[in-house]
Amino acid sequence: MLSAGLIAVDATILATAVQSVVADLGGFNQFPWLFSSYLLAQAVSVPIYAKLSDMIGRKPILLFGIALFLVGSIACGFAWSMPALIVFRAVQGLGAGAVAPMTQTVAGDIYTVEERAKVQGYMASVWAAASVLGPVLGGVFSQFVSWRWIFFINIPLCLIAGALLLRNYRERAERSDRRVDVLGAAVLTIGLTAVILALIEGGHGWEWVSLPSLGLAALGIAALAVFARSTRRASEPILDLGLLKLPVVWAPTCISACVGALLTGFTAFAPSYLERTAGSPPLVAGLSVAACTLGWPLAASMSGRLYLRWGFRRTALIGSTIAALGAVALVLVAPWPDPLRIAVCAFCIGFGIGWTATPTLIAAQASVEWNQRGAVTGLNVFARTAGGAIGVAIYGAISNAVISGGGGEHHAPTVVSATTWVFAGVAITALLMLASAVAMPRRVPTPD
């Protein structure tokens, strides 16, 4: 729970301090990279950690991730420029790539499906606490102390989490001598990086129709195509795409990608939108965003009782419908910036995600054996982080395009227009999540 808390707090604490970071280091147009670099590093490393966890166990991977997250947090706190901070955020992301899937995999190892209905309430409480604590700390540090403490606060949390794991967590790992597909991981990294770089810098760093833009897009697509082809031939692929043949796996994977894009699209842009158009202080803007990450764990804590009674698919359908309604409402209220309106929409989105993300992941985990559970969880978390990285890049490209064509980044009506288009993208993503929930099988097969 404490290890999950590291990632949960980090998900919300930075968004409320973007304006303070930019005021200190500059580089407003680069700020989407603060999220994309973290999510990209997390996305490409999750499959490696997941594969290793099925080979040597969860505990060493989890401890390594916490240590790397600690190193990245300290480096971020001492960053001297926006490019340096972006690089150090990537180091943080490499640590989070181990922590995020391992905490969920460990819960899947220890508890049965029925027991997880209760245990996920405890896990959800971590996100509930973090959803309030993160924005509050981010707002307080950036408004009254320094944004650098956003990262320094991770030091005691990492040390305590590591110590508790060393002392209390014992596992019986089914070790194997399988190899990790390092070449596949490298090709995947190149593909995702090229696509995200083309999206964020297109129309800003260079023209959309230009050699850098078209070249990066072509490189990214080609690398991802090579990766998809190579996984079919590799004896131990870094991402077992063969698992996607199962509807109970591919539908939750699509849902997870949409969840990642939804969350980053909202939490990365809403605080700056409220601060620069409604004049909201960082603390108020942060609390408005917190309504989303508070609704998620509250719903997740209740979803266990629902999916045991109604089934995974029906629970996910209800949740994704609520999230879609909240996202559409977000578009409708965007032209009139107000923290309360944004908070209400955010809560609906988060509440809907809570009834969708957790049950669908548990359904996927329950359908495979122990030695595939890490891979399934890793695939799910990879989809979420990759969806978040690509999503924030697409939303950033939309925002930069609107702002560039409307009078500059500090023109409030232009910011409102840009954010409205970003929220429209969020709404489309929510509808795609609903479509993925419809594709969930009515019954979840479990291994003998």
| CATH number for the domain that contains residue 126 | 1.20.1250.20
Of all residues in the chain, the percent with pLDDT exceeding 70 is: 89
Let me know if residue 42 belongs to a domain: yes
Tell me whether residue 73 is in a domain.
yes
pLDDT digits (tens, 9 = 90+) for 285-330: 777 877 777 787 778 777 777 877 888 888 899 999 999 999 999 9
Q: In terms of domains, do 275 and 148 share one? A: yes
pLDDT greater than 50 at residue 40: yes
Q: What percent of the chain has pLDDT over 90?
A: 17
Q: Does 109 lie in the same domain as 19?
A: yes
CB-based contact 119:112 (threshold 8 Å) = no
Q: In this structure, are 407 and 302 located in the same domain?
A: yes
229 and 350 in a common domain: no
* Residue finishing a domain among 220, 237, 254: 237
Same domain for 229 and 84?
Answer: no
Is the confidence at residue 366, as pLDDT, over 90? no
Q: What is the pTM of this model?
A: 0.73
Residue 394 lies in a domain: yes
Quick check: 251 pLDDT over 80? Answer: yes
Residues 375 and 314 in one domain: yes
Q: What is the extent of the structural domain holding 118?
A: 2-169+238-438
Closest CA to 399 of 413, 379, 419: 419
Give me the pLDDT at residue 73, please. 93
Residue 448 lies in a domain: no
pLDDT for residue 124 is more than 80: no
- Local confidence band at 160 (pLDDT 50, 70, 90 cut-offs): very high
List, for residues 69-114, the tens digit of each pLDDT value.
Answer: 999 999 999 998 888 999 999 999 899 888 877 887 787 778 877 7
Closest by CA position to 194, among listed 219, 212, 226? 219
Total domains in the chain come to: 2
Distance, in Å, from the CA atom of 63 to the CA atom of 46, rounded to the nearest integer, reads: 14
- Tokens representing 127 are 């996100």
Shared-domain flag, residues 155 and 189: no
Q: Are residues 387 and 403 in the same domain?
A: yes
State the pLDDT at residue 365.
80
User: What's residue 420's pLDDT?
Assistant: 86
